């Protein structure tokens, strides 16, 4: 068996990268950016007024002028006006360009308009260039405003739009096929016998991958039949970039998955990791660079292995930077067997001191997937240690 860190390194070293495609601005949210975005213009592109009111020359106010003749009105989106006289002012709207010759703005609440003149409130003291969002103060034209490798957020869409781009280069969506194996599995809605169980791993894995931004995901259920497995797996390998299997990967007489994959030319990279849950996990690369993850069939093992290995691998393949490491503080003592890295489900809480606390949620074996409902993720308990005391700081992996 290899360690969890060795497993992650082997996957990272062999995981193929997905290609790029160009999508419209309206379709790019949630995708992984594959180009650097540069500012089209200064931002803001002009001295932008941030308050409804009047604009005028501060020097006139400093010289004692308190009554300004209203020369004109400047709305947002209108060409820039110019102050004609030092004793004049221009009515100004939020978002408008600051008129030429003006360097001061007084809010409308601080003036009174009488017979075409704006009278400044007694005692009000304006400041030069207050309520002015200076041209280029956010960034200058040509500045790199978004780096490739980021998952595009709604805020990023605003940035891309501000740079005048109608479309953007993003990582292509990998074609992912999730495959459940097992004669005992019965889909929801179908009649079920006492000796059978509901098919739940596949839908859960699909949901997890979709939650992390992968949309081209479909599910298939295959019986424990060597010929059926080999035929259907060949079809999936021909049409998908990534296969994620659940079940059939241990040492039982009906665990045909490793053998079927080998016969289809999928080269094993590793089989078995010194961890709990999920020890029997298998990973390989197909003849045409397909990535194949064969996860143990116990539900907790399946979900932990998917989050621990499949999700980071897809992140890397899409060109995203590794996720930022997180840590949490254990809220009570726990003891585990040595020689295995343990992944312990937890519920999280944030204290007044902004400390993330992790409360353990024990599962009744790795088949107890119901216990995972309401958990936020899991902490990683290193295999060199058996006892973890309250207050221990542990690596945190959110679902």
Q: How confident is the model over 259-309, as pLDDT tens digits? A: 999 999 999 999 999 999 999 999 999 999 999 999 999 999 999 999 999
- Position 338 scores a pLDDT of 74
**Do residues 345 and 397 touch, judged by C-beta distance below 8 A?**
no
Cβ partners under 8 Å of residue 208, min gap 6:
303, 306, 307, 311, 399
Q: What is the mean pLDDT of the chain?
A: 96
Taking 70 as the threshold, does the pLDDT of residue 310 lie above it?
A: yes
**Interval 356-383: pLDDT, tens:** 999 999 999 888 999 999 999 999 999 9
Beta carbons within 10 angstroms of residue 353's beta carbon: 5
Taking 90 as the threshold, does the pLDDT of residue 32 lie above it?
A: yes
pTM of the model: 0.87
Residue 235 banded pLDDT, cuts 50, 70, 90: very high
Residue 252 banded pLDDT, cuts 50, 70, 90: low
Q: Is the dihedral of CA 40, 43, 46, 49 positive or negative?
A: positive
- Helix residue ranges, H only, 271-393: 299-305, 311-317
**Interval 2-13: pLDDT, tens:** 999 999 999 999
Taking 80 as the threshold, does the pLDDT of residue 231 lie above it?
A: yes
Element (DSSP H or E) covering residue 15: none
Q: Sketch out the chain's domains with CATH numbers.
A: 4-19+173-317 (3.40.980.10), 34-43+138-171 (no CATH), 48-133 (2.170.190.11), 326-398 (2.40.340.10)
- Position 350 scores a pLDDT of 96
Give me the mean pLDDT over the 61-84 stretch. Answer: 98
**Interval 116-153: pLDDT, tens:** 999 999 999 999 999 999 999 999 999 999 999 999 99
């Amino acid at each position: 068996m290899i360690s969890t860190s060795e497993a992650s390194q082997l996957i990272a070293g062999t995981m193929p990268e997905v290609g790029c495609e160009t999508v419209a601005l309206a379709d790019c949210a949630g995708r992984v950016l594959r180009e650097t975005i540069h500012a089209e213009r200064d931002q803001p592109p002009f001295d932008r007024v941030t308050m409804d009111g009047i604009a005028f020359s501060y020097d006139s106010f400093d010289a004692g002028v308190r009554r300004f003749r209203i020369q004109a009105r400047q709305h947002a989106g209108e060409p820039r006006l110019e102050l004609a006289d030092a004793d004049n002012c221009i009515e100004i709207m939020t978002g408008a360009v600051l008129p030429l010759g003006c360097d001061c703005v007084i809010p409308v609440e601080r003036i009174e308009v009488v017979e075409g003149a704006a009278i400044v409130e007694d005692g009000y003291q304006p400041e030069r260039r207050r309520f002015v969002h200076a041209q280029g103060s956010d960034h200058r034209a040509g500045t790199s405003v978004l780096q490739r490798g980021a998952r595009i957020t709604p805020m990023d869409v605003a940035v891309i739009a501000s740079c005048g781009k109608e479309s953007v280069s993003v990582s292509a969506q990998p074609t992912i096929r999730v495959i459940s194996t097992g004669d005992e599995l019965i889909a929801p809605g179908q009649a079920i016998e006492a000796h059978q169980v509901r098919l739940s791993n596949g839908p859960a894995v699909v949901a997890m991958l979709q939650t992390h931004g992968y949309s081209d995901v479909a599910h298939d259920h295959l019986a424990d039949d060597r010929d059926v497995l080999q035929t259907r797996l060949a079809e999936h390998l021909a049409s998908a970039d990534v296969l994620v299997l659940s079940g059939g990967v241990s040492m039982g007489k009906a665990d045909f998955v490793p053998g079927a994959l080998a016969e289809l030319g999928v080269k094993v990279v590793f089989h078995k990791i010194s961890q709990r849950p999920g020890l029997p996990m298998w990973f390989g690369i197909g003849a045409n660079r397909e990535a194949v993850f064969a996860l143990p069939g116990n539900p907790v093992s399946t979900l932990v292995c998917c989050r621990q290995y499949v999700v980071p691998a897809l992140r890397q393949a899409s060109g995203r930077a590794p996720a930022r490491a997180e840590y949490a503080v254990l809220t009570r003592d726990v003891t585990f067997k040595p020689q295995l890295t343990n992944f312990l489900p937890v519920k999280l809480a944030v204290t007044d001191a902004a400390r993330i606390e992790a409360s353990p949620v024990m599962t009744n074996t790795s088949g107890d997937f119901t216990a995972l409902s309401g958990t936020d993720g899991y902490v990683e308990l290193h295999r060199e240690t058996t006892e973890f005391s309250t207050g221990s700081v542990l690596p945190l992996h959110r679902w």
